[in-house]
Amino acid sequence: MTRSRSRRPQAAIIPAVLSALLGLLLIPGTSSAATNLVTNGTFETGSLAGWSCSAGTGAAVSGSARTGTYALQGTPTAGDNARCSQTVSVRPSSTYTLSAWVKGSNVYLGSDGGSSTWTTSSSWAQLTTTFTTGANASTATIYLHGWYGVPAYQADDVVLDGPGGTGPPPDTTAPTTPGGLTVGSPTSSSLRLNWSAATDASGIDHYEVVRGSEAAQNVGNVTSWTATGLAPSTSYSFKVRACDPSGNCSPYGAAASGTTSSGPTVPPSSLPKHILTGYWQNFNNGAAVQRISDVPAAYDLIAVAFADADPSRPGGITFNLDSAGLNGYTVAQFKADIAAKKAAGKKVILSVGGERGTISVGSATAATNFANTALSVLREYGFDGIDIDLENGVNAQYMGQALRSLHSQFGTGLIIAMAPQTIDMQSPAFEYFKLALAIKDILTVVNVQYYNSGAMNGCNGQVYSQGSVDFITAQACIMLQNGLRPDQVGLGLPASTRGAGSGYVSPTIVNNALDCLTKGTNCGSFKPSTTWPTLRGAMTWSTNWDASNGNQFSNQVGAHVHSLP
C-alpha cells in the first residue's frame, strides 16, 4: 500500500495527529448554545469573578472584547502558560459542549480529564470541543491557557452547554502541604524522594515535584518517587506539593537536596563521534524515490521510515516494504542494500511513528509486545536499532520499559534514536524529555525536529521564531542544560522547502548553529555561555527530499559535521 507521508506539513506547536486523535474542532460562526453553565463567561463584570488564573497571569481587560466591553487576557511567562480555569456543577454520564472565542498565539480550551483544542489566530476565532462526564461526576473544571513565553492571548464569550448540575458547590480548599521531604539512595543517574502524605477532605489526586527551577512534574498519588536521567556527581534540589481532584494545590513544602554518585557517562558506540542522520522514505510522496543503496555515503545513520502497527497486538510493530511505490524494490534487494551499507561502516535503523503513525505503548502489555515484535523485525531485516518518532505522544514509563527490554534482548550494540518535535523537549517535565532522561544510559541520540513549530521559548527565556541560528541554538541548549549529554543531541532540519511545512533553513544556517554550539563561533544574537564540542551532529527529513534538492544537505552539512572537532 502506497502511503503519502510527510513530517507534520502544517506549522504547529503540538502534533497535528494528536489533535486528530482528540477529535477537536475549530468552528467559525456564532454560538447558539441553549444554556450556559459558565459563571462570568463574558467577563462583563470587569473582573475574573468565578475564574482562577495561575500566578496572577490573567485579567479582565477592556478595549478589544469580541462582544461587550471586557474580555479575558492571559499573559504567559517563561514558566507559566497563564491557565485560567473554572469548576462548574455537572451531571454524571452527560455530554457537554464547551466553546470560547479566542485570539492570540497557541490558545487552548479544554476540560480536565476531558478533551481540549487550540488555535493560533490574529483575529477572533471560535474553539469548540465536547466531553462526557464520568458515572460519578458532579463537577467539571474547564480551562483556557496560552503557551510558555509567547505573547498574551485573549478570550471572550465562554459557553458550556449541557444539563445543569445538581452536585455540591465547587471545592476551593487546597490540601495541606506535604512535609518531611528527603532525597537519598543516589546512583549515578537517579535520586529517591520520600515525603509525608498531605490531607484533604476530597482526597489527594496527585503530587507535583519541582527539580530546581524546572516545571512541575505530576508524579501521581504516591509519597515516594525516583528522579531519573540525572548527571553523575551533581547536586539537585527538589520540592513537592499536593493537589486534590478539583485542581486545588497546596503550597510547596521546604526544598531538599541530594547528590548523585559518580559513574560511567558514555555507553559504548560504534558510530563516529559526529554523525549525519537521514530519514529514508518507504513510500512515494513526490520526493525522489530511492533505494537504500542510493543514499549518499555522507549519511552515517539511516532511519527507515516507518514501521507499521501490528493490528493483532497492542503496541506491536511490523514492517512492510512498499515495493510498488518504490518502483519494484524487492525485499531481497532491500535486505542486501542494508547489509552493504553496514559493511561500508554505516548504520541502518527502523523508525517508529511519523506524522500518521498509530503505534501506542501505554501499558505493560503493550511494552512487552513492542519489545518482542521490534526485536523480530530488527533481526529479520538486519536493522541496527530503533528510532522513536511518535508524533501522537509517548508514555515515558511504558516506552522506557519497552526500550530497556529490547536493549536487554538485542544487546549493547542497539542504537536508540529519537526524533521528538520541538515542543516535546521544551521541559524535562514533558513525556518525551522524561523518556530520554529515563533511558539516558542506553540512549544514542535525540534529533529534535526544529521545524513546523512556530515561535518557541529558548533556554535563555527569550522567544525565537523558527528559521534562524538563534532558534536552533536556544532550543538545543534546553536539552544540553537539563540532563542530556552533548553526544546525545542532534539538530533536525528539513532538507528542502518541500520537506516540511515551515522551518526550512539553508545548509549555511545549520552549519552556523553547529559551530555556535560546538565552538562558540557564527552565533546569532544568542551565544550560549559554554560550548559543547562533542555535540553529536545533525539530522534531516529526508534523504529523498535531499536528493530532490541536489543533495545540498548531505554535501554541505554532512561535510561540516564530519569536520567538527
Q: What residue has cell string 554535501? A: 555
Tell me the average pLDDT across 397-408: 92
What are the cell numbers at 275?
A: 554523525
In a domain, 23, yes or no: no
In a domain, 8, yes or no: no
> Is residue 418 a contact partner of residue 388, using CB atoms and an 8 Å limit?
yes
- pLDDT greater at residue 268 or residue 99: 99
Q: Which of 96-105, 213-222, 501-510 has the lowest mean pLDDT?
A: 213-222
The model's confidence at residue 516, banded by pLDDT at 50, 70 and 90, is very high
* Per-residue pLDDT at 11: 38
Q: Which domain holds residue 426?
A: 275-508+536-563
* Rounded Cα distance, 154 and 157, in Å: 11
In a domain, 265, yes or no: no
SS3 content of the chain, % helix, strand, coil (to 5): 20, 30, 50
Cis peptide before 306 (omega within 30 of 0): yes
Q: Are residues 367 and 442 in the same domain?
A: yes
* Per-residue pLDDT at 322: 96
* Per-residue pLDDT at 15: 39
Q: Which residues contact 98 (CB under 8 A, 6 or more apart)?
A: 109, 110, 111, 128, 129, 130, 131, 142, 158, 159, 160, 161
Reported as a single tens digit per residue, the pLDDT across 357-369 is 678 898 999 999 9
3-state per-residue secondary structure call for 279-313: EEECCCCCCCCCCHHHCCCCCCEEEEECCEECCCC
The angle formed by the CA atoms of residues 242, 243 and 245, to the nearest 5 degrees, is 145
The dihedral built from the CA positions of residue 518, 522, 523 and 527, taken in this order, carries a sign that is: positive
> Is residue 161 a contact partner of residue 40, using CB atoms and an 8 Å limit?
no
**Torsions phi, psi for 20 (to 5 deg):** -65, -40
In a domain, 373, yes or no: yes
CATH code of the domain covering residue 381: 3.20.20.80
Tell me the average pLDDT across 491-512: 96
* Per-residue pLDDT at 113: 81
What are the cell numbers at 332?
A: 531481497
Q: Are residues 294 and 437 in the same domain?
A: yes
| The last residue of a domain, from among 102, 130, 161 | 161
* Per-residue pLDDT at 292: 98
Q: Which of 125-129, 195-199, 394-398 has the lowest mean pLDDT?
A: 394-398
Q: Are residues 360 and 436 in the same domain?
A: yes
* Per-residue pLDDT at 247: 76
* Per-residue pLDDT at 3: 37
3-state per-residue secondary structure call for 33-72: CCCCCCCCCCCCCCCCCCCEEHHHCEEEEECCCCCCCEEE
Catalytic residues: 391
| The last residue of a domain, from among 259, 285, 316 | 259
Q: Are residues 221 and 307 in the same domain?
A: no
In a domain, 2, yes or no: no
* Per-residue pLDDT at 33: 39
| The last residue of a domain, from among 259, 294, 318 | 259
The dihedral built from the CA positions of residue 372, 373, 376 and 379, taken in this order, carries a sign that is: negative
pLDDT above 50: residue 494 = yes
> Is residue 337 a contact partner of residue 382, using CB atoms and an 8 Å limit?
no
The angle formed by the CA atoms of residues 236, 239 and 240, to the nearest 5 degrees, is 140
- Counting other chains too, the contacts that 456-463 makes at CB distance below 8 Å and 24 or more residues apart are 456/13, 456/149, 456/422, 456/423, 456/426, 457/78, 457/148, 457/149, 457/150, 457/426, 458/526, 459/528, 460/526, 461/78, 461/149, 462/149, 462/526, 463/149, 463/150
Q: Are residues 432 and 328 in the same domain?
A: yes
CATH code of the domain covering residue 193: 2.60.40.10
pLDDT above 50: residue 329 = yes
* Per-residue pLDDT at 497: 95
* Rounded Cα distance, 80 and 58, in Å: 11
* Rounded Cα distance, 398 and 200, in Å: 30
End-to-end CA gap in the chain:
44
CATH code of the domain covering residue 88: 2.60.120.260
The model's confidence at residue 154, banded by pLDDT at 50, 70 and 90, is very high
* Rounded Cα distance, 256 and 184, in Å: 10
Q: Are residues 355 and 504 in the same domain?
A: yes
In a domain, 50, yes or no: yes
Query: How many domains, in total, are found in the chain?
Result: 3
The DSSP call for residue 487 is G
Q: Are residues 148 and 188 in the same domain?
A: no
CA nearest neighbour of 387 among 310, 311, 446: 446
Q: Are residues 153 and 217 in the same domain?
A: no
Element (H, E) at 457: strand 456-457
In a domain, 526, yes or no: no
pTM (global) more than 0.75: no
Q: Are residues 543 and 457 in the same domain?
A: yes
Q: Which of 16-20, 207-211, 435-439, 495-499 has the lowest mean pLDDT?
A: 16-20
What are the cell numbers at 499?
A: 520537506
Q: Are residues 247 and 373 in the same domain?
A: no
Q: What residue has cell string 530503533? A: 386
Highest mean pLDDT among 68-77, 147-156, 289-298: 289-298
In a domain, 7, yes or no: no
pLDDT above 60: residue 429 = yes
* Rounded Cα distance, 226 and 246, in Å: 26
Q: Are residues 202 and 156 in the same domain?
A: no
* Rounded Cα distance, 377 and 562, in Å: 31
Q: Are residues 142 and 208 in the same domain?
A: no
* Rounded Cα distance, 270 and 345, in Å: 9
> Is residue 464 a contact partner of residue 474, using CB atoms and an 8 Å limit?
yes
